[in-house]
A and B are shown apart, each in its own frame.
Chain A
């Protein structure tokens, strides 16, 4: 393998260097050897180290593919959002302006959707982390059938959003849904979960937390298991009650798990589109739950306003970046990137 790579590198160097055919070294008067006039591969070698060019056949193809299909597509999306593309007439790339962004800023629908997206992301992440933490702490206490409980709590994650949306829709039915019937046994009157625009977003958050708290439980369980038992014992010896022990000693050590789980959850929350689309089997989710993703898809595929939808897509992209960006920077500072 190494010989193969060296021969590839030599051939590449011969192809791109300015003095084809010579070995690349020339004798100088002080007895040393100077490099031939730098070819592309030589310059890359000096800048990034020889491993960079030697491993190029491995990382270059995926890099090009991702560059085209992900980053290229994002760039093209941005360019479309600057045009006035709508309906069946193709985009006119000669007249570019930020009109669509101005329109989005003035559209009450987009503003409502942004607020709902933000509320959904924050509420879902916070509640899922809290519920996952509580379950992890409970499961960690060496209970019987621990594996069974862990599996049961993790199973909802294996369901697709479409299935979850459909049966939560049945459960939230005003007349014969399980939730209202269960509340009825306690004497609490039937509540219109989907029909009431003030509560429907929280009903959706509840359904999503049900699906994802298994994931946070697993992350926290791993984090808890990584804490040495001495910490627990030392806290006990110092006379801490169980609650204080967890609150003061253990939970602060879960910071790493919390951050990584939170990032994953926030990205999932931005993808709630699947759930909301399946809830109504259409582009228009119930009043009060419209998020940027559903608004964007509706503008694109129902109303055919492609440029406007692209502008909303860029706004959503910036929102996601604002979540991932600080995390990546934090990891970079920690030296873990």
Chain B
């Protein structure tokens, strides 16, 4: 029973840094436009164009999914997830990532994780960050950091009209000593009351589309509309939808050994294609 959903194809930005660089995030409709925008930020300001917390490899795998979706489109992404990856699509995704990682991210990426990376946006040291929308929770909790005034959201360039799925769910186990109790609990979880109470604090949106969104902030209300209106809803890779734990672990192994320091596009492409095809 799905309880809440986070969205993964997000690009968050710090409005003052982006204005100082003269970049308009709303116009970024492709990954190459994003890379050009990062170049502009690098040359016009002192800020880091994109902040990335590479500690633990999961952020990089997640970023790969967004870049693949943005560059190659929904059909190629679904091919990858279902086990028929196109080597060209994977390779060009890694080439874009290598360009970004080699020139446009913070130098201490290897030592920091999500929290410190997010801090860079809140403090105005960086322009863009790609993350799931749980990162917005940190922005909501920061003092004096309001949506659309200090920070903004854009669907990841190239993925407009799509909502990359992530679900928090409760399961009904098959070997269950108390099936009636589980059923009662799952009915509660699927009801409006539970979905509002839980998602309000977690920063995700309810999976029911008929929930009253007035208690959620402006950013989440927008997200819920996007969820209902999205044309395509691709499942995410890093957080457990659609690929097995074994494959995900292998993908992360490839990132750790080939794409964490020196960025080896060929080896990473080969590793991902092999892992996804099995």
Contact = CB atoms under 8 A, between A and B. Distances in A.
To the question of whether A and B form a pair in one complex, the answer is yes
Contacts of B246: 303, 305
Given A287-B261, A302-B245, A174 B110 contact: yes
Interface in A120-174: 169, 172-174
A197 interface: yes
Given A298-B249, A303-B245, A284 B110 contact: no
Interface in B33-65: 54-58
A192 interface: yes
Interface string A162-206: 000000010011111100000000000010111111000000000
Contact of A194 (B58, B110, B245, B256): B110
Chain A interface helix/strand/loop/mixed: loop
Interface residues of B, number: 22
Contact of A174 (B107, B252, B260): B107
A172 B111 contact: yes
Given A284-B252, A286-B55, A298-B249, A195 B111 contact: yes
Given A287-B261, A298-B249, A281 B112 contact: no
A169 B249 contact: no
Nearest to B108: A174
A77 interface: no
Nearest to B116: A173
Interface in A260-293: 280-282, 284, 286-287, 290
Contacts of B57: 284
Nearest to B57: A284
B107 A175 contact: yes
Nearest to A303: B249
Contacts of A284: 56-57, 252, 256
B110 A192 contact: yes
B275 to A, nearest CB: 13
A173 B111 contact: yes
A298 B245 CA distance: 11
A195 B60 CA distance: 14
A109 B261 CA distance: 17
B56 A280 contact: yes
Among B55, B108, B111, B256, the most chain A Cβ lie within 10 Å of the Cβ of: B111
Contacts of B261: 192, 195-197, 287
Contacts of B110: 174, 192, 194-195, 286
B98 interface: no
B276 to A, nearest CB: 16
Contact of B56 (A197, A282, A304): A282
Contacts of A286: 55, 110, 260
Interface string B98-139: 000000001111111100000000000000000000000000
B209 interface: no
A174 B111 contact: yes
B177 to A, nearest CB: 16
B148 interface: no
Contacts of A304: 245
A195 B56 CA distance: 11
B274 interface: no
B86 interface: no
Contacts of B56: 280-282, 284
Contacts of B270: none
A286 B60 CA distance: 13
Nearest to A193: B111
A52 B111 CA distance: 57
B232 interface: no
Interface in B74-114: 106-113
A39 to B, nearest CB: 47
A302 B249 contact: yes
Counting from the closest, the 10 A-B pairs by CB-CB distance are A195-B110, A174-B108, A303-B249, A282-B56, A194-B111, A287-B260, A175-B108, A280-B56, A194-B110, A287-B256
16 contacts: A172-B111, A173-B108, A173-B111, A173-B112, A193-B111, A195-B54, A195-B109, A195-B111, A195-B260, A280-B113, A281-B113, A284-B56, A284-B57, A284-B252, A287-B256, A303-B249
Given A173-B108, A177-B108, A195-B109, 12 more contacts: A109-B253, A173-B111, A175-B108, A192-B107, A281-B55, A281-B56, A284-B56, A284-B252, A286-B260, A290-B256, A302-B245, A303-B249
